[in-house]
Amino acid sequence: MKPIILFPFALLLVLPLQAQIILNTNDLPSAGDVQVSVKVDSIQALTLSQGNAGTNVLWDFSNLLPCCGSLQNSYDTLKWILPSSTAYYSNFPLSNLANKRDCYIVHSHITHLDEEYCNYTYCIKNNNGVLLYGFYKTDAKTYDKMRFVFPLMQYGDTLQEDARLIYYSSVDTVKVRYIQNISVADGWGTVITPFDTASALRVQTTEIIYDSIYVNSVGNLQSTTDSNYYYHWFTKTLGFPVLQIFKSSLHQENTYYQDARYAAFKTAVLGTSELSQNFTVQVINELSCRKVVFIFPDDISVRDYFIELFDMTGRKINPQISLFANKIIVSFDNYSDGIYLYRIGNKSQTLKAGIVVVE
């Protein structure tokens, strides 16, 4: 799908382009990235002003508060992965990038193993950005006309798109959601959040949803939602918005109200080459004894690799590390409970990255 980009040529004559950020494919998410956002307090988010459009704007959101009693409880974690590594890839054969979130563990009394269940979103990443292809919760739902979740735009660009999601289908009944989006890159400047100060491009998106049902090929419009919007502040190398303010269908189900979240750290800390995803290290996150064990393949010596640990702000930490022939044990005895980031690499590249939980 190629976006319809309308760019007023006259802007090129008056804007100091060297002062703006220019997004490219290196700024999109990649398999191996871990995306962590902080959900903003709902009362504060409800009345939050989106700020001004224009050039060289300063958007100050440094006073944002976390939603859920503590910063740790407010984290929202999403892992970008290769679609082929999931059990539902056959339902989304065109996808080349996916993410999973809202994971939980259930012990199976059939296999006697702990099994992980997650919600999966499947995307197509190309030179225009990242398109939403579909998602899997309890079943597969696909867009036969896709929509952007991260368009590559420049200040002054307009992107107009129509999307269509078939979310229910039976022998005689089909339920369809049509979505009309118009996105405008309406501002550039500096955005400040509690975790970061970054040069950013703001993209404002308006959204109209038409919910229809077809019975024996006869259509009937059930409802129209025409008040949704998104404000996304995109920055270099992050891979997802540094700040989001939205009233939308993508983030919420039935009740639409203004929500907000901001990036907890830059995914560049964890950037992982998609070519290295076959590098398999088993990670055993032992919560009860505050240790994490990294088990390497038998034919690999851990002394050929390094491991780095970071807290949620991206600051490098130095817990106790014990090396064995094909195993590394990291002890968090002197660190507080929370989510930590790890990166394993050799002299040439990062080979594996992810998060661990300490309780």
> Which range is most confident: 135-139, 149-153, 245-249, 331-335?
149-153
Choice between 243 and 338, residue whose per-residue pLDDT is larger = 243
Strands 173-192 and 54-60: parallel
Asked if 246 contacts 229 with a C-beta cutoff of 8 angstroms, the reply is yes
Q: How many other CB atoms are there within 10 angstroms of residue 160's CB atom?
A: 13
Residue 124 and residue 25: Cα distance in Å, rounded? Answer: 13
- Mean pLDDT for 101-123 is 76
* Spans of all domains in the chain: 10-270, 274-358
- Residue 311 confidence (pLDDT): 79
Choice between 115 and 261, residue whose per-residue pLDDT is larger = 261
Reduced 3-state DSSP string for 194-216: CCCEEEEEEEEEEEEEEEEEEEC
Domain 274-358 in CATH 2.60.40.3080: yes
- Mean pLDDT for 285-301 is 81
Query: Please, which pLDDT band fits residue 221 given cuts at 50, 70 and 90?
Result: very high
Its pTM surpasses 0.85: no
Does residue 18 register a pLDDT over 50?
no
Say which amino acid occupies 69.
Answer: G
- Mean pLDDT for 253-278 is 65
- Residue 275 confidence (pLDDT): 42
- Mean pLDDT for 233-258 is 83
